[in-house]
């Protein structure tokens, strides 16, 4: 994992040494956790209350280029003090799979802001969906009229007067690329041909292997445009003939390799939330195989793994701990008093967070009062050059304030109680959460998890409430070492015991698979 360090000090009672101290602690944290630091971004004498910070903005731009995986800060308030700016930039970073972590806090600082961040993201999704419905009609009309709908034009075309037309410079090479592949050339050879003749993607980069693969399947080269359920066959000029396109599709099917097996890249959703209770380092993902070839995925102390240190923390199975955390979190959200408290916290948080809006509204009120008083004077016959000039000045001020208030409301939308409750209900109404839902559940509600020898301590973003689970309960319910199921529960038959184990593990497997699972798991557990 690669990371950058962001350090900042404001102009109040802090010195240059503050930056050095932040970088030192962030670097030590990265070394303990096995993270490679690529560079540091430093803003000096600049407050986090504004996002007009040169190094900060450069870091955001570099994150959009996918140059690193993580941003390490000394404390989370170094990143942003305004939760709305924090939510906005973290949402942007999340699109590029970049996380913000603190070197000195286990995510506890301003934990309620993480809840607000997730709900704001949900609100943005809702607003985006509502807005898209209004845009769909116009885009549908564009397709029917053969107009360009925006975005990046397809290679081989250019946009003229709002319509896609053939690019005389690149269209012949696209035609030649289709003919080459139909005649037996490989995608690598077609790619080399296009790059040799100067054909580039619209971002200026050379044509890639995946670009050629998508290009050979793109029906736009037949002149077709599709938008949702709307289709037009002759929307733009065709570059290839239907016969050539069909020959290429047949070749693609023949050349398609069987998909690889066992290459699933399981995501370790507790990463950056899960800590070793012994040394404080991250618990990171690890995998291995036993002598039977079964793959095990588990979390292991980063310090012990990367530094070969003497940390006594033991590894724990990935599925076991993740299912435990998900189960405990869902149980917490099913309690009505918890939901009421979260709703109250979010509503109160957003009302006290914004200090700019009340000031602007107060200034607008004063301006409108001044305009009203001036109107009374005009009605009484007091009309001079200065009166007219003052009225124009006040009206311009009112218009400017109204614009600023509107922008502030757009940047910091007011979320009502009904929306917060609906957002929380998404997690409790699904019978079996998907992988994406599990990930969002962890990111939204889990503040930190600490693994000790005998217990797991879970801290939630809800008022930093804690839940402690004894590992003996987890182990006894999964690994039946030293006794069979019917010895633990004398009234159970062997097959009933296997079904019980399957239920505990949440595997929903048949008995044969469960027997195989137990045989391999016992060996793993003994180690």
Tens of pLDDT, residues 16-34: 557 888 899 999 888 888 8
pLDDT for the residue numbered 193: 92
Per-residue pLDDT tens digits for 300-359: 888 887 766 678 888 888 888 888 888 888 888 888 888 888 888 777 766 655 556 677
**Structure tokens, 102:** 């603190």
Residue range 366-386: average pLDDT? 83
pLDDT for the residue numbered 37: 92
* C-alpha separations of 299 from 43, 222, 317, 320, 446 in Å: 36, 51, 6, 10, 17
Report residue 133's pLDDT band, with 50, 70 and 90 as the boundaries.
low
Report helix angle 385-411 to 356-379, nearest 10. Answer: 150
Residue range 206-230: average pLDDT? 87
Report residue 180's pLDDT band, with 50, 70 and 90 as the boundaries.
very high
pLDDT for the residue numbered 10: 63
Measured CA to CA, the distance from residue 143 to residue 225 in angstroms comes to 7
Lowest average pLDDT, out of 115-124, 222-231, 385-394, 503-512, goes to 503-512
Partnered with residue 206 across adjacent β-strands are 200
Give the chain's mean pLDDT.
76
The whole-model pTM stands at 0.48
Q: How far is CA 346 from the centre of its chain?
A: 21
Element (H, E) at 296: strand 295-301
Residue range 489-503: average pLDDT? 47
pLDDT for the residue numbered 320: 85
* Between 371 and 14, residue with greater pLDDT: 371
Which strands, in side-by-side order, build the sheet including 283-289? Answer: 283-289, 295-301, 316-317
Q: List helix spans (H) across 384-434.
A: 385-411, 417-429
CATH number of the domain at 146-255, out of 3.40.630.30, 3.40.50.2300, 1.50.10.150, 3.90.1750.20? Answer: 3.90.1750.20
Measured CA to CA, the distance from residue 14 to residue 452 in angstroms comes to 37
pLDDT for the residue numbered 45: 60
Residue range 471-480: average pLDDT? 52
Nearest one of 89, 102, 116, 25 to 354, comparing CA atoms: 116
pLDDT for the residue numbered 243: 93
Residue range 137-163: average pLDDT? 79
* C-alpha separations of 233 from 2, 108, 139 in Å: 47, 56, 16
Report residue 504's pLDDT band, with 50, 70 and 90 as the boundaries.
very low
Measured CA to CA, the distance from residue 45 to residue 15 in angstroms comes to 8
Per-residue pLDDT tens digits for 62-85: 988 888 889 999 887 777 755 666
Report residue 526's pLDDT band, with 50, 70 and 90 as the boundaries.
very low
For domain 2-105, give the CATH number.
3.40.50.1390
Residue range 205-217: average pLDDT? 89
pLDDT for the residue numbered 261: 35
Q: How far is CA 43 from the centre of its chain?
A: 26
Report residue 225's pLDDT band, with 50, 70 and 90 as the boundaries.
confident
Q: Please report, in angstroms and rounded to a whole number, the separation of the first and last CA atoms in the chain.
A: 28
pLDDT for the residue numbered 383: 73
Report residue 442's pLDDT band, with 50, 70 and 90 as the boundaries.
confident
Per-residue pLDDT tens digits for 235-271: 889 999 999 999 999 888 877 643 333 334 567 888 8
Whether the predicted pLDDT of 121 surpasses 80:
no
**Structure tokens, 122:** 């949900």
Q: List helix spans (H) across 185-301.
A: 187-196, 209-217, 242-255
* Between 187 and 85, residue with greater pLDDT: 187
**Structure tokens, 248:** 């290429």
């Amino acid at each position: 994992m690669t990371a950058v360090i962001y350090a900042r000090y404001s102009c109040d009672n802090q010195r240059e040494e503050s930056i050095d101290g932040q970088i030192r602690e962030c670097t030590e944290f990265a070394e303990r956790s096995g993270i490679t630091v690529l560079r540091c971004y430093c803003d000096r004498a600049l407050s986090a209350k504004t996002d007009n910070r040169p190094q900060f903005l450069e870091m955001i731009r570099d994150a959009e280029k996918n140059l690193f995986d993580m941003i390490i800060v000394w404390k989370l308030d170094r990143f942003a003090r305004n939760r709305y700016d924090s939510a906005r930039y973290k949402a942007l970073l999340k699109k590029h799979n970049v996380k913000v972590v603190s070197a000195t806090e286990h995510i506890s600082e301003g934990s309620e802001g993480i809840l607000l961040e997730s709900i704001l993201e949900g609100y943005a999704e809702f607003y985006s969906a509502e807005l898209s419905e209004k845009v769909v009609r116009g885009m549908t009309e564009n397709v029917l009229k053969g107009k360009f709908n925006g975005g990046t034009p397809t290679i081989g075309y250019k946009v003229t007067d709002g319509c896609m037309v053939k690019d005389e410079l690149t269209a012949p090479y696209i035609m030649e690329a289709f003919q080459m592949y139909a005649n037996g050339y490989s995608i690598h050879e077609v790619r080399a041909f296009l790059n040799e003749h100067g054909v580039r993607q619209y971002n200026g980069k050379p044509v890639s292997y995946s670009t050629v693969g998508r290009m050979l399947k793109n029906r736009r080269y037949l002149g077709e445009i599709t938008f949702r359920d709307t289709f037009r066959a002759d929307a733009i000029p065709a570059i290839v003939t239907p016969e050539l396109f069909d020959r290429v599709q047949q070749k693609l099917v023949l050349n398609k390799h069987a998909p690889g097996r066992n290459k699933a890249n399981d995501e370790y959703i507790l990463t950056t939330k899960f800590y070793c209770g012994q040394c404080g380092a991250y618990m990171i993902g690890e995998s291995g195989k036993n002598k039977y070839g079964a793959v095990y995925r588990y979390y292991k102390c980063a310090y012990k793994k990367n530094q070969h240190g003497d940390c006594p923390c033991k590894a724990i199975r990935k599925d076991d701990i993740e299912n435990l955390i998900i189960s405990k979190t869902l149980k917490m959200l099913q309690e009505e008093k918890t939901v009421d408290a979260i709703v109250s916290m979010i509503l109160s948080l957003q009302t006290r967070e914004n200090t700019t809006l009340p000031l602007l509204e107060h200034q607008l009120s004063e301006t409108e009062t001044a305009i009203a008083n001036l109107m009374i004077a005009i009605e009484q016959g007091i009309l001079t050059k200065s009166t007219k000039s003052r009225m124009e000045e006040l009206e311009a001020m009112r218009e400017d304030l109204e614009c600023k208030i509107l922008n502030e409301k757009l940047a910091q939308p007011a979320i009502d109680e009904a929306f917060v409750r609906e957002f929380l209900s998404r997690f409790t109404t699904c019978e079996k959460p998907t992988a994406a839902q599990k990930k969002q559940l962890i990111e939204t509600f889990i503040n930190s998890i600490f693994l000790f020898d005998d217990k797991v301590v879970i801290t939630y973003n809800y008022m930093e409430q804690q839940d402690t689970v004894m590992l003996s309960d987890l182990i006894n319910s999964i690994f039946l070492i030293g006794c069979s199921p019917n010895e633990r529960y004398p009234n159970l038959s062997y097959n009933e015991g296997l079904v019980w184990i399957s239920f505990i593990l949440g595997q929903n497997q048949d008995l044969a698979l469960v027997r195989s699972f137990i045989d391999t798991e016992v060996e793993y557990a003994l180690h």
